[in-house]
Amino acid sequence: MRIAPPTPSRAAKLFELLARAYPDAHTALHHENPLQLLVATILSAQCTDERVNLVTPALFARFPDAAALAGADRAELEGLIRSTGFYRNKAKAIQSCCADLVAHHGGQVPQTLEALTALKGVGRKTANVVLGNAFGIPGLVVDTHVQRLALRLGLTRETDPVKIEFALMPIVPRETWSRFSHWLILHGRSVCAARKPRCSACTLAPHCPRIGVTASS
């Protein structure tokens, strides 16, 4: 697939329109501190944010810090998060991550990408969610919506999430990295759906090459 790099003017117009359409974009995951956001993000894999938000109040009331989560009874932890799906793998990831936090960071969530991705069960996407939303440190989150829209909008020809992240870095102004991810996530949910994008109702349409969108969409 050959996709010409976006011109600075077209990219800037896309960012302007997205910012106007979603001025209050922020994470939908409820949290009161960085640890809660880290755990909620792990739970959100292949699960809706709404479902995660239903689960986390009881989870954090029962296990309020990294030490408590690391030492939790595995069966009890799995029971609390069962409805988020893949609960055995998620319970293992949460406990491994929290054990690392206790052992290497005094139970606190670190504030660098390198330290976060060194934690067991934490990849770049989760790390960037935490950096951008818990610490205000710019991070490009590439979830399925960002992955799809970055290609459709002609911002990159890459399909691998990590390669997409690096491809977007020089295109998207660093100070808007976190907001940009939220813009695309919200736009992907409300307008640019995977199977039936509502192109006729899309504010980005005049500047979008519609990569991979059929004529009937």
What is the spatial distance between Cα 132 and Cα 104, in angstroms, rounded to a whole number? 22
Is 125 catalytic? The answer is yes
DSSP 130-184: HHHHHS--------HHHHHHHHHTTS-S--SHHHHHHHHTTTS-GGGHHHHHHHH
Alpha-carbon torsion angle 190, 138, 15, 193, nearest 10:
-20
Q: Say if residues 141 and 45 touch (Cβ distance below 8 Å).
A: no
Written as six digits, the tokens of 70 are 């690391």
Binding residues: 192, 199, 202, 208
Catalytic residue selected from 100, 125, 160, 196: 125
Binding residues for [4Fe-4S] cluster: 192, 199, 202, 208
What is the spatial distance between Cα 153 and Cα 171, in angstroms, rounded to a whole number? 12
Is 92 catalytic? The answer is no
Q: How many CA atoms lie within 13 A of 216 on its CB side?
A: 1
Phi–psi pair at 39, nearest 5 degrees: -65, -45
Catalytic residue selected from 24, 120, 143, 163: 143
Active site positions, annotated: 125, 143
